[in-house]
């Protein structure tokens, strides 16, 4: 069974700056997800490239532009490999399509890096990787962001449901 810890860190010294949102997730198999979908926040669709028990930590914070900065830390993935990850609009499900489309900074619905939240992860010899993406924009009032889809070699391999929040006025 998967272990999922999701928490919001303590408030900062300034009341104007919302605290970061932190999710520490452990990937479960599709079987475990099907048995307990409401308590399993991260699912691996390909246990070879994203092994059961591997982890993803996601930290969302407001940056100096009033937009968002998102840090990803992965552990337990294949060593010396390139992964991609993208923020999606809906929570994860037993089908990769359950996560819906990628989050886009409207009104343009075109898919390009500055209009979406993309991550490039290069794992080290121990299967660990970390990366940061900053945007001058945040999640808008009419938008939702609920998951991070992980891809390897162009295929969706895992999904992590993340409680992204609207940290700025968008």
Output the domain CATH number for residue 45.
Answer: 2.60.40.200
Other Cβ atoms less than 10 A from the Cβ of 10: the count is 7
The residue segments making up the domain with residue 33 are 19-161
Determine, yes or no, domain membership for 12: no
In this structure, is residue 102 part of a structural domain?
Answer: yes
Cα torsion 117, 75, 46, 33 to 10°: value is -90
Number of domains in the chain: 1
Does residue 103 lie within any of the structural domains? yes
Which range is least confidently modeled, 18-22, 66-70, 87-91, 166-170? 166-170
For residue 112, being part of any structural domain is answered with yes
Residue 137 lies in a domain: yes
pLDDT tens for 86-95 read 999 999 998 9
The answer to whether 131 and 117 are in contact (CB under 8 A) is no
Higher pLDDT, 143 or 69: 69
Identify whether 62 is part of a domain: yes
- Say if 29 falls within a structural domain: yes
């Amino acid at each position: 069974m998967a272990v999922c810890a999701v928490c919001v860190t303590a408030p900062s010294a300034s009341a104007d700056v919302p605290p970061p949102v932190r999710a520490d997730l452990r990937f479960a198999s599709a079987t475990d997800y099907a048995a307990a979908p409401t308590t399993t926040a991260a699912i691996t669709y390909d246990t070879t490239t994203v092994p059961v028990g591997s982890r993803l930590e996601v930290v969302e914070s407001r940056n100096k532009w009033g937009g968002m900065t998102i840090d990803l830390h992965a552990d337990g993935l294949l060593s010396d490999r390139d992964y991609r990850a993208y923020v999606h609009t809906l929570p994860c499900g037993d089908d990769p399509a359950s996560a819906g489309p990628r989050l886009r900074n409207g009104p343009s619905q075109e898919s390009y890096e500055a209009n979406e939240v993309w991550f490039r992860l290069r794992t080290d010899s121990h299967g660990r990787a970390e990366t940061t993406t900053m945007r001058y924009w945040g999640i808008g009032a009419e938008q939702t962001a609920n998951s991070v889809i992980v891809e390897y070699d162009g295929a969706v391999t895992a999904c992590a449901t993340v409680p992204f929040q609207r940290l700025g006025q968008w």
